Amino acid sequence: MKILIFGLPGSGKTTLAKPFAELIGGVHINADEVREKYDDWDFTLSGRIRQAQRMRHLADGVVMAGKVAVADFVCPTSVTRHNFGPDFTVWMDTVKQSPYEDTNALFETPDTVDYHVAEWFDDTDKQLLEVVQKWMKKNNAV
């Protein structure tokens, strides 16, 4: 199962993804770390699409190994979200603007998400775990 935690920079994606991945027994994939390792792409739309594809390949490998992949990255457009191919989406909607004007201009409000975080709570990771576990049971997902 691939879980995408996305939103503007500074929205708390990594803050949620790290403890959540641990709670669910999954593997956390952070886009900033991936970009550092594979420093060959930019932040244009085409660069972001390539990054989504790279994140997808990494997450697919995690799933093939029998684990839940928890990826966190901006993933600003419907195209980048589609290219990643998540089974479950979490929108971190806790900030309305980031410090990056190009990212603000590119970011598209999603039409649908599986879980919407509009406000951060101390137990947001545990709340998400409960929702994801119910979703997994309902959808026979691993």
Q: pLDDT of 31-59, one tens digit each? A: 989 988 887 667 888 888 888 999 999 99
Please report the pLDDT score of residue 142 as a whole number. 63
Residue type, 81: R
- Cα separation, 82 vs 15, in Å, equals 23
- Cα separation, 47 vs 56, in Å, equals 14
- Domain residue limits at 82: 2-138
pLDDT tens digits along 63-83? 999 999 999 999 999 999 999
* Mean local confidence (pLDDT), 110-136: 96
- pLDDT for residue 89 is more than 70: yes
Q: Are strands 115-117 and 88-92 parallel, antiparallel or unpaired?
A: parallel
Which tokens belong to 96?
A: 């309305």
| Residue 21, domain CATH | 3.40.50.300
pTM of the model: 0.94
Please report the pLDDT score of residue 30 as a whole number. 96
Cβ atoms of 13 and 70 within 8 Å: the answer is no
Cβ atoms of 5 and 86 within 8 Å: the answer is no
Task: Provide the number of structural domains found in the chain.
Answer: 1
